Structure formats: structure tokens, C-alpha cells
Amino acid sequence: MNLFSSRIRKYSTPLFAIFAENKQIAMRIAINGMGRIGRVLFRRLVDHPGIELVAVNDIMPAENLLYLTRYDSVYGTFNKQMSLEENNMLVEGKTIRVFSEAKATALPWASLGIDVVLECSGSYTNAVAAAEHLEAGAKKVLLSTTGSSDIPLMIYGYNHHDYGKHVNIISPGGCMTNCSTHVLNILSAIGIESAQVNMLHSYTSRQEIVDSPNRNFRRGRAAAESIIPVEIDLAASLEILVPSLKGRIATVSTRVPVANGALGDFTVQLSKDVTAESVNELFKQAAVGKYKGIIDYTEEEVVSMDIKGNTHSCIIDGSLTSMVGRQLKMIVWFDNEYGFTSRMIDWLEELNRKE
């Protein structure tokens, strides 16, 4: 058979059938809540292949939303042509609906054919509340936080394989959970007697810019002026995800006066004698193997600014790993916004493959 006749055979199936078979239908998504995480997702998803950003919802005025999406103090100016036209945001020819509804049930997810709502408002973090998006017509809801105990906690790269199509509301954890789970799970192969985790984290919108009244007194202090310890529920989440840590872990977050970036300080009492070099080797192999794209490894003398925009959930700083007896000290870095939104995008791609 010559080359020409082989080509005829290859395309003997009707062309419309070939095109129909190969055409990928884009997942239609909406973002509810255009705060820090919502706006980072907007920037990253507006041109993402296989995903169509259909709509956003936030109670702020649309003009303010456009401004904050275009100009960002952490990631810089979004270099795309953007404008408002009635109830739409136009981004270089793409039209994205803009809503300002206080209640999820008022949103037209059904008529817009929304497959997944990215719930980034912080107001729908339990199963009953998040289900309002389903009631409005969305097929799935992906939170941008850990959520309550009645929502499955699935960390991408760790237990996301437990996802089943019957699950309609998913919590992908938060930035600190995604960092810690992988580190502690890998160390569990050695054996963990106890762990203390301190997350040195950039200040957030839940703190004040000047001293102000706050139910949590320390959160009311000026975020850019002090190092501020705050209580977090990270330990409870980690005990769910890694049951062997039950009663063996304590966590705290220390907010520091930077706008972006975080450092995880892990002090772990191991059950075996190991060297710092062998621990580093364990994470080096994980970074190029099972956890490739999720964790990274470096021995360069980086600081928090250097990991801005990094897509990994954690970057192991092997230059700072040390052992005293069986007590391990590990330092890991992560971009608390970009790294975490990378896992949310991983989840969208996973849902797109499974549905």
C-alpha cells in the first residue's frame, strides 16, 4: 500500500465524525467571591485550555472589581485589554457575566450551564450552605478553603483519587493544609512520634491594617507593623488526613509583615535514627517522582520573595534541614495564593477528565 492510499484509509471515516470525536467541550465554570483567591483564579483561568470562565459574582461594584482584577499589588498589572459593558466584563474579546448577588440561590447557574462553581467568598463553607450553588443549578462546587467536617477534604496529590462522581461539593483544603499534608505524609514513612508546625504566613484580609477592635485581639493589631501569632485549625485537618498523627501534632500560624509568601517550620520527633541528608534525599526523590508538580526541592539560599508565583504546594529548603538526635527541623516555602490556586486548577482539570 502506497502512502497516498494509506491516507485515504486513515480518513475513510466521515470527517464530521472525526471532528465530533476529537472536539473537547470546555468545562463551564463560575467564581463566587472575587477576593484574593478569586481574582488570582480569574487571571489564571480566563485563557485556560479546556475551561470556559462564564461568570463571576461579588457584592463589590463592578467598576471596583475591574480595577482590582487589573491592578494587583502582589502580582502586578494584568496585561490584557479589559472593560465593562453593562453586566459583562470584556477581556480581549471574551465576555464574562458579572453578578452582584448576596445569595447563591439567586444566581442563574442553571441557565448558564455552569459545571463547577469555585466558591471563594468564604460564606458557603458547610454542606448546607454550599449546596445553595447546586440548588441554583451548578453541577459541582469546589471550595477555596478547608470547609466544615461535612464536606469531603481531598488534597490534590494525596487523596484526590478518593473522589467519586457522587461527590458534588469538594474541599481541596487550604494553602497550609496542602503544604503540610505532603510533608508529613512523606515523613510518616520514617515514623512520627510528634510534630510541631509553625506557619510563618503573610498577612491576610482577616487582619487589620491599623489597630482595631477584633474578637481575636491579636488579629486586630496592625498587620504590617508586628509579627502576630494566630490560632488555626490546621492540626484538626491534618489528624483527619493523616490519622497516625492523632494526638501527636500541634500547629500555629505566625503572621509576618509581608503581603505574599509563607514559610512552614516543621519540628518533628521521628521514631528512627536518620540523617538530614537521608531526609533530604527522600524529598528529592518525591519531587521528581510521585509528587512531581506538587512539591519541589531546593538548596539555594532563597527568601520568600523568590517563591512568588511558584505553582508548587511546598518547596523543601534542603539547605536548612537539620537533625538533633531524632528531632528533625525542616523549612519549606510556598506561595500561599499561587501555589494553592494551582491545586484548585488541578482539581478542575481532574473533574473535567472524570465527568
pLDDT, one tens digit per residue, over 110-138 is 999 999 999 999 999 999 999 999 999 99
Tell me the backbone φ, ψ of residue 330, rounded to 5 degrees: -125, 140
Average pLDDT for the chain: 92
Grid coordinates of 289: 517522582
Q: What is the pLDDT of residues 13-28, one digit of tens each?
A: 333 333 334 446 799 9
pTM of the model: 0.91
Q: With pLDDT > 70 as the criterion, what percentage of the chain qualifies?
A: 93
pLDDT band (50, 70, 90) for residue 165: confident
Region(s) of the chain under CATH 3.30.360.10: 176-336
Interval 307-321 mean pLDDT: 98
Q: With pLDDT > 90 as the criterion, what percentage of the chain qualifies?
A: 90
pLDDT tops 80 at residue 150? yes
Q: Which of 120, 175, 179, 314 is catalytic?
A: 175
The residue written with cell numbers 482584577 in the block is: 69
Region(s) of the chain under CATH 3.40.50.720: 6-144
Task: Answer for the pair 265, 331: CB distance below 8 angstroms, yes or no.
Answer: yes
As a CATH number, domain 6-144 is: 3.40.50.720
Interval 221-232 mean pLDDT: 96
Statement: 176-336 belongs to CATH 3.20.20.80: no
Q: How far is CA 247 from CA 7, 107, 194, 236, 279, in A?
A: 66, 43, 8, 10, 24
pLDDT band (50, 70, 90) for residue 3: very low
One-letter amino acid of 153: L
175 is catalytic: yes
Task: Answer for the pair 232, 251: CB distance below 8 angstroms, yes or no.
Answer: yes
